[in-house]
A and B are shown apart, each in its own frame.
Chain A
Amino acid sequence: MSTPPRTLFEKIWQRHVVADEAEHPTVLYVDLHLVHEVTSPQAFAGLAARGLGVRRPDKTFATMDHSTPTLPRHLARVDAAAEAQLAELERNCAKHAIPLFGLDHEHHGIVHVIGPELGLTQPGRTIVCGDSHTSTHGAFGALAFGIGTSEVEHVLATQCLLQHKARTLEVRVDGALGRGVTAKDVILAVIARIGTGGGAGHVIEYTGSAIGALDMEARMTVCNMSIEAGARAGLVAPDDTTFAWLDGRPYAPRGAAWDRAVCAWRALATDEGATYDRSVTFDAAEIAPMITWGTHPGMGMRIDGRVPSAESVDDPADRRAIEKALAYMGLAPGEPIVGQRVDVVFVGSCTNSRMSDLRAAASILRGRRVAEGVRALIVPGSRRVRLEAEREGLDRVFREAGAEWREPGCSMCIAMNGDEIAPGQYAVSTSNRNFEGRQGKGGRTLLASPLTAAAAAVTGRVTDPRSLLAS
């Protein structure tokens, strides 16, 4: 009997089913559990209250990223509450023998940056973290999704999760991306089309020639924002690009084990003839640099377009949403977005803080100055990224342009550590959420690619990055 053709998702799912009893959710095994300081203390406290231990500390890794300072360590302290949270994670990791990549560790960084760069993130694995952007790791063909703190406790105790099987959504992007158009623009275009709830109940698999042509860091940018379309996870089938990127990473298999692993990983790709529950397709050539104008990531537009008006849509609820968002953002309907004043530029976050992102920003900032009155913050995703950027001299490019070059962390993506924008200010940010107040109470966020963010830094205005690219 031949097995029916299966999708990548189906293959990973089936392999990890521990139990599937009638009238119960499926019990799914977790290969890798990543932990950070903000969503774990209550889970560890729950374990202690029940007298339980951590089942597999060898499959659990912790870092500190959300409420950590990005100024040099000896100068920086966020506040007493943040310090207490960090101390709590240190205590919990020591008690349960969980490896912790603390602030001074060579592996320190944002949880979704360090998992891949250490080779912990591998094709075919199930990966969870108490953080919605765990979808990032799907770029390697791993089934990776965010969970709440109760579920963090479940995984610590049992290495398993109760799950209902998601449906599959194929997002197919064919063709070649234009000059100045990046992975960030692709995913913002996808979310603008399918909406912030468009992927609910689904796992997305990104397919098509434009996705296959992306490097690993770009694939991570795409998968990272799957959650902003409401999807639990995003996946890209592992291929030679994936294997080349992983080879030699600290936790990647070596020697004969590497060869066996690659052989198994090659078999993960969706079979010919397998079907998805839904599919949507995009023409890469039609995607322009994107920027958001509103208060959720689905409110995105071409940078050369005009801010939408409430009259442009029929649904009364959508109309109210546009009016509410424009009022918060202080933007006028029907106006071009190019030329909008910018106060702050943030290049960083688990979406866009890797080497290729910093190189893109530097390509625009090199030999130019950050505009008068604009504050530009460049925050690498990890210590490794920071060191590599410094070896390449990117830190000098940023400093000479007048930008701030920081220690790694989430920083202004979530504004828990003192890096924040003031009420009413406009920030062009490479992060993933433009919700009201996300980057500081009353602050206004426009999400864009590192190229677009850097272009805004040098002009002090929203600017089409294509106008500044070397030809």
Chain B
Amino acid sequence: MQPFTRLTSRVAVLPVDDVDTDQVIPARFLKITDKVGLGDKLFADWRRAPSGDDPGFVLDRPETRGARVLFVGRNFGCGSSREHAPWALCGWGFAAVVATSFADIFRTNALKNGLLPVALDEVAHAHLRALLDADPRAEVTVDLEACVLRMPDGREASFPIDGFARRCLLAGIDELGYLSSLDKDISRWEAEHG
């Protein structure tokens, strides 16, 4: 896993609430036995190239090319526990998702793949949305050391993150190492509880 410290990037804005993981990566793409190749399938059923008055789907617009931050509404990642959702988001190139809230399993899955879930309060979220609507090419900085998102106008918003997950992300290590180090405690529990 790559360490995550600080990231400055354009933002793809998908202002939808309750985006479920069936939309992030439809079930027909889950018949794989590895984690690769899902990036192209991200939001497969919502993808649409711009044409005429239709601005197209956000990932297909020129101004979001190379964006590493995805901006969404509330309760992002609800529904299925499929970890293929963060694999697809990372495969596309995203490294952070900004929302007002995340579904529990998605948040856990994202953190285990170096994808940072940034939950902003409603006011900061609305402010950032207005800035991005005014300038879709504007950049934000996500700073995991300070747990702060810096907006295009310089304003800063802090976001919560579990301390242990943060340390793992900053160091680029996964959580299984810690669990494995507790082998003695696990054996003791097993001896006591059968």
Give the interface of A toward B (CB within 8 A): 15, 18-19, 23-25, 27, 29, 38-39, 41-42, 45, 50, 52, 55, 66-67, 79, 81-82, 84-85, 88, 130-132, 146-151, 153-154, 157-160, 162, 164, 196-197, 200-201, 227-228, 230, 232, 296, 298, 317, 321, 324, 414-416, 433, 435-438, 441
Q: Known contacts A18-B189, A132-B79, A433-B79; can you find 13 more A-B pairs with CB under 8 A? A: A19-B182, A38-B31, A41-B34, A45-B33, A132-B105, A146-B81, A151-B108, A154-B179, A158-B180, A197-B103, A228-B79, A296-B20, A296-B78
Please provide the chain B residues from 142 to 178 with a CB less than 8 Å away from any CB of chain A in the complex: 162-164, 174-176, 178
Of B45, B74, B81, B179, the residue contacting A197 (CB under 8 A) is: B74
Tally A-B pairs: CB < 8 A. 166
Which residue in B33, B81, B174, B180 is a CB contact (below 8 Å) of A42?
A: B33
Q: List 10 A-B contacts (CB under 8 A).
A: A84-B33, A153-B176, A157-B180, A158-B176, A196-B75, A201-B104, A227-B79, A414-B27, A435-B23, A438-B22
Residue-wise interface mask of B (65-83) relative to A, using a CB-CB cutoff of 8 A (1 in contact, 0 not) = 0000000011100111111
- Chain B residues near A200: list those with CB within 8 A: 75, 101, 103-104
CA distance A164 to B165 in the complex (A): 11
Q: Give the shortest distance, in Å, between A294 (CB) and chain B (any CB).
A: 10
A269 to B82, CA, bound (A): 32
Choose one: A27, A230, A438; the contact of B103 (CB below 8 Å).
A230
Q: Which of B32, B45, B81 contacts A147 (CB 8 A)?
A: B81
B109 with A148: CB separation less than 8 A = yes
Q: Which residues of A contact B103 (CB under 8 A)?
A: 197, 200, 230
Confirm or deny: B6 has a beta carbon within 8 angstroms of a beta carbon on chain A: no
B32/A435 in contact, CB under 8 A: no
- Partner pick for A45 among B26, B34, B113, CB 8 A cutoff: B34
Contact: A416 with B30, CB < 8 Å?
yes
A79 touches B104 (CB 8 A): no
| Cross-chain contact of B189 among A29, A66, A196 (Cβ < 8 A) | A29
Contact check, A164 vs B78: say whether CB atoms are below 8 A apart: no
Given contacts A42-B34, A154-B179, A317-B73, contact A416 B27 (CB under 8 A): yes
Residues from chain B with Cβ under 8 Å of A441 in the complex: 26, 28, 45
Tell yes or no: B35 within 8 A of A by CB: yes
Contacting pair B78 A197 (CB below 8 A): yes
Complexed CA–CA distance, A148 and B105 (Å): 7
Our pick among B20, B34, B75 for the contact of A435 (Cβ within 8 Å) is B20
Contacting residues of chain B (74-102) with chain A, CB-CB under 8 angstroms: 74-75, 78-83, 101
Evaluate contact between B164 and A147: CB separation under 8 angstroms.
Answer: no
B residues at A contact (CB < 8 Å): 16-18, 20, 22-23, 26-28, 30-35, 45, 73-75, 78-83, 101, 103-105, 108-109, 112-113, 162-164, 174-176, 178-180, 182-183, 185-186, 189-190, 193
| B163 contacts across to A, CB distance below 8 A | 23
CA distance A45 to B74 in the complex (A): 34
Nearest chain B CB to A166's CB is how many angstroms away?
8
Ranked nearest first, the 4 interchain pairs of A and B with the lowest CB-CB distance are A148-B109, A81-B31, A41-B33, A197-B75
Find the A residue at minimum CB distance from B35. A42
Given contacts A24-B178, A38-B30, A230-B104, contact A436 B162 (CB under 8 A): no
Chain A residues positioned under 8 Å from B182 (CB to CB): 18-19, 27, 158, 160
In the complex, A23 Cα to B47 Cα: how many Å? 42
CB nearest to A41 among chain B residues: B33
The interface residues of chain A lying within 8 Å CB-to-CB of B30 are 38, 66-67, 416
Let me know if B45 and A437 touch, CB within 8 A.
Answer: yes
Residues in B neighbouring A15, C-beta threshold 8 A: 193
A67 touching B109 in the complex, CB below 8 Å, given contacts A27-B179, A433-B22: no
| A433 CA / B79 CA spacing, docked (Å) | 8
Asked if B18 contacts A196 (CB within 8 A), the reply is: yes
Q: How far is the CA of A88 from the CA of B34 in the complex (A)?
A: 11
Q: Which residues of B contact A52 (CB under 8 A)?
A: 180
Contacts of A39 in B (CB 8 A): 81-83
Residue of A nearest to B34 (CB): A42
CA distance A414 to B80 in the complex (A): 10
B17 touches A81 (CB 8 A): no
Residues on B with C-beta less than 8 A from A438 are 22, 27
Q: Do B80 and A132 have beta carbons less than 8 Å apart?
A: yes
A373 to B35 alpha-carbon distance, docked (Å): 41
- Taken together as a complex, chains A and B put the C-alpha atoms of A298 and B75 apart, in Å, by 13
What's the Cα separation between A438 and B176 when bound, in Å? 33
Determine the distance from Cα of A131 to Cα of B16 in the docked complex, in whole angstroms.
24
- Residue on A nearest B109 in the bound complex, by CB: A148
